[in-house]
């Protein structure tokens, strides 16, 4: 029988955890009754340095039901690192692992089909949103723009997929071979290259609590994804510099011709406009290059991506 682990990052999720654990317990019961998974299957919550009663609830659940376990990080390290910590703890203990969010927006009924696709021989099964009708116009347009931009920059990414996915034991071991500090898992997983497929699901409204991904975090996350997987922005900077250099040579030639024919035009507006334009472009280019240098600096230090404080897993 297949041993399945469900890995769920949590940050200040005390409002939703009781309902989430109830629904997941029912789902495990149903899957085990259908003989799709074995009795050793588990739910593993990862407390990402929560400041509320999240860890206390996880401890209580582990005492009440041996199928629930927990990993407590020493401090908040962000969703991607918390997810990786849970996957690391699950490694070697299960035949397949499914990662999902704690807020019940990921339809847990899609787990059945994910397990079926796994039994058919797929080692990676992506949970893909069937529509974005529940999103605001702004969120929908920015999300679609993000996926298009990532593909334009040469990043292999699955449209409308976040972190709801199944990984086989072999795929999980391969994922943990990637050692970069700047994590963007939805970009790393397709690099594994094993047989994969997708399962469509309808994303629901958050059951309780507040979103842990406001606009600022979403933009930073998108920028991390771009700079972690593509050097095209650097190449665009090079191209922009070449275009400006070429344009400047043409402009200089025109000015020399005008000087020879006594047709020089004195204008502070043009001069100052050119200075400000070039200065702004230079600062923008330096900023982009600086982002890449900063990421190289972070990777070179080889600091741990997370530190586990406690593990409760039977």
The DSSP line for 96-135 is EEEE--TTS-S-TTHHHHHHHHHHTT-SEEEEEES--TTS
CA angle at 22 for the pair 2 and 212, rounded to the nearest 5°: 95
pLDDT at 212 over 90: no
Q: What's the pLDDT at 264?
A: 57
In a domain, 220, yes or no: no
Range of the domain at 236: 232-301
Sign of CA dihedral 69, 72, 76, 80: negative
Q: How many domains does the chain have?
A: 2
Phi and psi at residue 201, in whole multiples of 5°?
Answer: -150, 160
Same domain as 60, residue 18: yes
* 66 assigned to some structural domain: yes
pTM for this predicted structure = 0.75
Band (pLDDT 50/70/90 cuts) for residue 228 is low
Contacts of 217 (CB under 8 A, 6+ apart): none
Whether residue 180 sits in one domain with residue 79: yes
Dist. CA 296–CA 301, nearest whole Å: 9
Query: What does the pLDDT average to over 183-200?
Result: 89
Residues 192 and 152 both lie in one domain: yes
Q: Which of 9, 17, 29 is nearest to 98 (CA)?
A: 9
Please check the confidence at residue 211 and state whether its pLDDT lies above 90: no
Cα distance between residue 294 and residue 157, in whole Å: 24
pLDDT tens-digit series, residues 238-287: 777 777 767 766 766 666 676 666 665 565 446 655 676 676 677 677 77
Distance of alpha carbon 127 from alpha carbon 110, whole angstroms: 8
Q: How many residues does the chain have?
A: 314
Q: Are residues 42 and 80 in the same domain?
A: yes
Pair of tokens at residue 117: 């696709």
Q: Is 218 a member of any domain?
A: no
């Amino acid at each position: 029988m297949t041993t399945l682990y469900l890995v769920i990052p949590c940050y200040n999720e005390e409002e939703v955890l009781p309902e989430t654990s109830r629904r997941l317990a029912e789902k495990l019961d149903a899957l085990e009754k259908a003989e799709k998974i074995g009795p050793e299957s588990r739910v593993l919550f990862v407390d990402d340095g929560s400041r509320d009663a999240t860890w206390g609830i996880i401890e209580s659940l582990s005492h009440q039901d041996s199928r629930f376990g927990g990993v407590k990080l020493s401090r908040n390290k962000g969703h991607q690192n918390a997810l990786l910590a849970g996957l690391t703890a699950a490694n070697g203990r299960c035949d397949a692992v499914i990662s999902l969010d704690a807020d019940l927006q990921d339809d847990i009924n899609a787990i059945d089909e994910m397990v079926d696709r796994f039994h058919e021989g797929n080692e990676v099964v992506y949970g893909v949103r069937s529509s974005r009708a529940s999103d605001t116009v702004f969120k929908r347009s920015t999300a679609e723009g993000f996926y298009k931009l990532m593909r334009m920059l040469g990043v292999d990414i699955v449209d409308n997929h976040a972190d709801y996915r199944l990984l086989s034991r072999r795929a999980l071991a391969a994922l943990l071979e990637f050692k970069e500090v700047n994590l963007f898992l939805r970009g790393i997983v397709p690099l594994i290259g094993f047989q994969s497929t997708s399962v469509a699901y309808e994303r629901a409204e958050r059951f309780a609590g507040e979103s842990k991904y406001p606009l600022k975090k979403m933009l930073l996350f998108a920028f991390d994804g771009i700079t972690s997987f593509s050097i095209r922005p650097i190449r665009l900077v090079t191209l922009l510099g070449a275009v400006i250099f070429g344009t400047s040579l043409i402009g200089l030639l025109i000015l020399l011709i005008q000087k020879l024919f006594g047709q020089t035009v004195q204008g502070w507006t043009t001069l100052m406009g050119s200075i400000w334009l070039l200065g702004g472009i230079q600062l923008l280019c330096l900023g982009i290059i600086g982002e890449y240098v900063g990421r190289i600096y972070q990777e070179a230090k080889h600091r741990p991506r997370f530190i586990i404080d406690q593990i409760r897993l039977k």
